[in-house]
Amino acid sequence: MAVTETMKRRVPLDDVMEELSRAEKLSSRDEALARAIAIVTFRRLGTLGHALRERLNKPPKDERLMHLLAIGAAQILFLDVPDHAAVDSAVQIAQDDPKLHHAGGFINAVLRRVAREREQILAESDPWLDTPTWLEERWIAQYGEPLATQIAEAHRAMASVDLTVKTDPEAWAERLGGVLLPTGSIRLVERTAIRDLPGYEDGEFWVQDAAAALPARLLHAKAGERIADLCAAPGGKTAQLAVAGAEVLAVDRSAKRLERLKENLARLQLKAETKAIDAEKLTAEPFDAILLDAPCSATGTIRRHPDVAWTKSEADIRKLSGLQTRLLDKAASLLKDGGRLVYCTCSLEAEEGELQAEAFLARHPEFVRQKVTPDEIGGLSECITPQGDLRTLPSQLVLNDHDRSGLDGFFVARFVHRGS
């Protein structure tokens, strides 16, 4: 089961699903259904666990059985799957597993009770149930309880799909039936296969959360500038820089991920030089500008990747913050006098954002912060910190259609080299 493998190995659900699809030779439809079930299971894992424990005299010791119950309950409570189909599917999975085949009757009884008591379970659900305690404590300490609660609530909703277009976002929003956001991204209203949308085959747009599109915009790339995109894959930011006419070097330590970046650029009919190397080891002539989207805990993407909440730990944050510090120092060494550096992470954690920015300026007096202004980000002044950096939260960008509200959590700081 993908949920068990993800939890056991503490790797991204996307990686596990890719392995599963390849091994089981799943059709695109079956893979999409399996992925949807796994995602909603992780998104509401706390609620599911609480509901199941309340209805079990003694929780099973086998975590796979508990996960199987959670998967069945997720379909009953949160997906448009008939109750009998969800129950039968879970029983069949157990019967096909030599270590779980004895549990069919048990699974049937528990899940049917969940179905009968659906309304009670949903009425009792608290937003903090679906957030691990260690994250709850961190966010309350950093943001205060009211705002932290809004973040936790936002994580329980499905993330919208945003697009970045090459040109004329207003016209494309109308053509695609989407909403043009104040930041310039297009938010789709209807969920549909991206490949079926007009303009996809012609390379007119790519999928990119509205918040993820802001760092490259804040770099203000100019035609002919030589710009490095460090830790570049899957390439959304590289594409933005290339559209602006910059000469882009896309760097990523993963050759496999760079291949995907190249495929994306080919569809978009854009060009960039690529280099598969650890960014810490990069040697090159000084750049006009650098975009560093550093590896991080990714807690800002929990709406989109809810497995992150259950597979990451504070130890990961400590380890990654050290890497971010080294990458920032490396980026600083690769800039021309007067060059621009945009640092960003898709993290909600101060150690990977605000504290990194302050520490960088303390280590590098040759750099100054260039503050973000509201007009650069569609007037979203609430996303600008007192220091002038950008901090987006999942609970921000509230639209009339609540189901289409929200942003990924990002931190962005912009620095300029003072010159010699």
Per-residue pLDDT tens over the stretch 9-34: 999 999 999 888 888 888 888 888 89
* Mean pLDDT value across residues 390-418: 91
Last residue of a domain, one of 82, 99, 125: 125
Measured CA to CA, the distance from residue 270 to residue 247 in angstroms comes to 11
Pair 112, 247 in one domain: no
Q: Check whether 420 has a pLDDT greater than 70.
A: no
Last residue of a domain, one of 125, 141, 173: 125
pLDDT at residue 57, as a whole number: 84
Q: Which domain holds residue 116?
A: 2-125
Q: Answer whether residue 294 is part of any domain.
A: yes
Mean predicted lDDT score pLDDT of the chain: 95
Torsion of CA 263, 265, 270, 273, to 10 degrees: -90
Pair 396, 293 in one domain: yes
Instruction: Please report how many Cα atoms fall inside a 13 Å half-sphere around the Cα of residue 246, on the Cβ side.
Output: 26
Query: Position of tokens 């730990």?
Result: 313
Pair 117, 232 in one domain: no
pLDDT at residue 361, as a whole number: 98
Specify the CATH number for the domain of residue 39: 1.10.940.10
Pair 229, 100 in one domain: no
pLDDT digits (tens, 9 = 90+) for 224-247: 999 999 999 999 999 999 999 999
Given a contact cutoff of 8 angstroms between Cβ atoms, the answer to whether 127 and 369 are in contact is: no
pLDDT digits (tens, 9 = 90+) for 276-294: 999 999 999 999 999 999 9
Pair 387, 259 in one domain: yes
Query: Position of tokens 């007119």?
Result: 204
How many domains would you assign to the chain? 2
Last residue of a domain, one of 106, 125, 144: 125
pLDDT digits (tens, 9 = 90+) for 329-377: 999 999 999 999 999 999 999 999 999 999 999 999 999 999 999 999 9
Q: Check whether 191 has a pLDDT greater than 90.
A: no
58 pLDDT tier (thresholds 50, 70, 90): confident
pLDDT at residue 148, as a whole number: 98
Pair 279, 399 in one domain: yes
Q: Answer whether residue 173 is part of any domain.
A: no
Percent of the chain residues topping a pLDDT of 70: 99
Q: Check whether 400 has a pLDDT greater than 90.
A: no
pLDDT digits (tens, 9 = 90+) for 200-226: 999 999 999 999 999 999 999 999 999
pLDDT at residue 209, as a whole number: 97
402 pLDDT tier (thresholds 50, 70, 90): low
Q: Which of the residues 231, 296, 346, 383 is marked catalytic?
A: 346
Beta-carbon contacts of residue 78 (< 8 Å; ≥ 6 apart): 40, 43, 44
- The yes-or-no answer on residue 346 being catalytic is yes
pTM of the model: 0.95
Q: Check whether 178 has a pLDDT greater than 90.
A: yes
**What would the DSSP string read from start to end of 321-364?**
HHHHHHHHHHHHHTEEEEEEEEEEES---GGGTHHHHHHHHHH-
Q: Answer whether residue 49 is part of any domain.
A: yes
Specify the CATH number for the domain of residue 403: 3.40.50.150
pLDDT at residue 399, as a whole number: 85
At 411, which helix (H) or strand (E)?
strand 410-417
pLDDT digits (tens, 9 = 90+) for 62-101: 889 999 999 999 999 999 899 999 999 999 999 988 888 8
Pair 300, 399 in one domain: yes
